[in-house]
Chain A
Amino acid sequence: ELKVEQNPLFLSMQEGKNYTIYCNYSTTSDRLYWYRQDPGKSLESLFVLLSNGAVKQEGRLMASLDTKARLSTLHITAAVHDLSATYFCAVRIGGATNKLIFGTGTLLAVQP
C-alpha cells in the first residue's frame, strides 16, 4: 500500500523566513505533484515534477524531486502572509491512469 507522508503537518513561520516541507512516499512513482488549498476552497496545482532531479520554481516556492530517495521538497523563500494555505503533495500510481494518492497536507501559517 502506497503511503505518502508530509512533514511537518503544521508550520507556523514568520514573514521573511525560509523553510522546507518534506514529502516522502513508500513506493516507486514517476511523477509527483504539489497543490495549494486555501481555506474552504478547491485545490490549485502548483508544480508537476516529471522525473528524477526535476526542479520547478514559481515566485517564492521551489519544488524538487528525488525519485531514488522517494522524496520531494517544497522550499519557501522569504515567506509572505499570502503564502498561508495548506499544501499537499500527491504521487501518481497506476501509470497512465493518473490516479493520485495525496499526503495529509501541511498547514502553513505565515505570521507578520
Chain B
Amino acid sequence: DAGITQSPRYKITETGRQVTLMCHQTWSHSYMFWYRQDLGHGLRLIYYSAAADITDKGEVPDGYVVSRSKTENFPLTLESATRSQTSVYFCASSELGGSGELFFGEGSRLTVL
C-alpha cells in the first residue's frame, strides 16, 4: 500500500530556474492538494484539484502552476523559482464524499538560493 508519494524529497535550486515537484497517489482519490509549510504560517493551500483536468487556486497560488492529466498524479511547477518559495511542500489527497480527511505525503523540502 504505497499511498501518496512525493519526489524529490529534497531539492536545492537557484533563483530563476524551473522546478517540478511530483505527487503520486495510489488510492484513486478524487481530490488532491498542494500546501506549503513555513514557520509562523502553518500550512497554506497553493492549489487543489477535484478531478483530472479540474484545478483551482488556493490561498497562495502566485508563482506556481499545476496540472492533472491523470487522477493519480498532481505535479506542482515553479516556473521561475524565487527565494520566497523556499519551503516544505506537502501534497495531500482525499476521497470523494467521506469525512473530508486529508492524507499527506512525506513532504518535499525545497531550497532556492
What is the interface of chain A, defined by CB distance below 8 A to chain B? 4, 31, 33, 41-43, 45, 48, 50, 88, 90, 92, 96-105
Given A43-B90, A48-B101: A102 and B44 interface contact (C-beta under 8 Å):
yes
A33 to B31 alpha-carbon distance, docked (Å) = 17
Using A43-B43, A102-B35, A104-B40 as known contacts, list a sample of 9 further A-B pairs with CB atoms less than 8 Å apart, ordered by residue number in A. Answer: A31-B99, A42-B104, A42-B107, A45-B101, A88-B43, A90-B43, A96-B100, A104-B41, A105-B42
Are A100 and B45 in touch, CB under 8 angstroms? yes
Asked whether B59 is an interface residue with its Cβ less than 8 Å from the other chain, the reply is yes
Chain B residues, Cβ within 8 Å of A31: 99-100
Are A99 and B45 in touch, CB under 8 angstroms? yes
Chain B residues, Cβ within 8 Å of A102: 35, 42-44
Are A99 and B33 in touch, CB under 8 angstroms? yes
Number of interface residues of B (CB under 8 A): 26
Are B31 and A97 in touch, CB under 8 angstroms? yes
Q: How far is the CB of B6 from chain A (nearest CB, A)?
A: 9
Asked whether B94 is an interface residue with its Cβ less than 8 Å from the other chain, the reply is yes
Of chain A, the residue at the smallest CB distance from B97 is A96
What is the interface of chain B, defined by CB distance below 8 A to chain A? 31, 33, 35, 40-45, 48, 50, 58-59, 90, 94, 96-97, 99-107
Chain A residues, Cβ within 8 Å of B33: 99-100
Chain A residues, Cβ within 8 Å of B48: 97, 99
Chain B residues, Cβ within 8 Å of A99: 33, 45, 48, 58
Are B94 and A98 in touch, CB under 8 angstroms? yes
Pick from A33, A42, A96, A104: contact of B42, CB below 8 A. Answer: A104
Write 30 A-B pairs (CB below 8 A) sorted by A numbering. Answer: A31-B99, A33-B101, A33-B102, A41-B107, A42-B105, A42-B106, A43-B43, A43-B90, A43-B104, A45-B101, A45-B103, A48-B99, A48-B100, A48-B101, A90-B43, A90-B102, A92-B100, A96-B96, A96-B97, A96-B100, A98-B100, A98-B102, A100-B33, A100-B45, A100-B102, A102-B42, A102-B43, A104-B40, A104-B41, A105-B42
